[in-house]
Structure 1
Amino acid sequence: MSRQQDYKIQTVNTDTTVSFEPVRYDIWLSPQKDQVEVVIDKQSKYGKVSKKDTKKLLSILETP
């Protein structure tokens, strides 16, 4: 990506009885802020989120 990510999300294990490896997701907003692109850190996996799901995701991320 040509710039720093807009968001970082790290998974957290809340169940101490389960072995868990945290995963970090790097998230970029499109210039129109209507779609996000996601990269899973250290796995070289990339994807785009639909506009509908982007709207849902942003409503969660932007909640104070």
Structure 2
Amino acid sequence: MPSNLRKAHQALDKAMLKVVGLKANASDEQVLEDLFTRYSELTRGLLDAEPARRATARRPRA
């Protein structure tokens, strides 16, 4: 990987860890655990409700 791309990835990783409140030395497992926990919390209950029925267009009678 080119060094400028590697540096960009490192900067992005550092910024992401700061945003989610993880330490700079967090392991991949810790990062994934945190992200999946957040995802689970954000999506909890979304599929519990009954889906809305889609209205169908009626054809005019001939």
- Give yes or no for TM over 0.5: no
Q: Which has the higher contact order (CA 8 A, sep 6+)?
A: 1
Between structures 1 and 2, the one with greater helix share: 2
Q: Which has the higher strand share?
A: 1
Query: Under a length normalisation based on structure 1, what TM-score does the superposition of the two structures give?
Result: 0.29
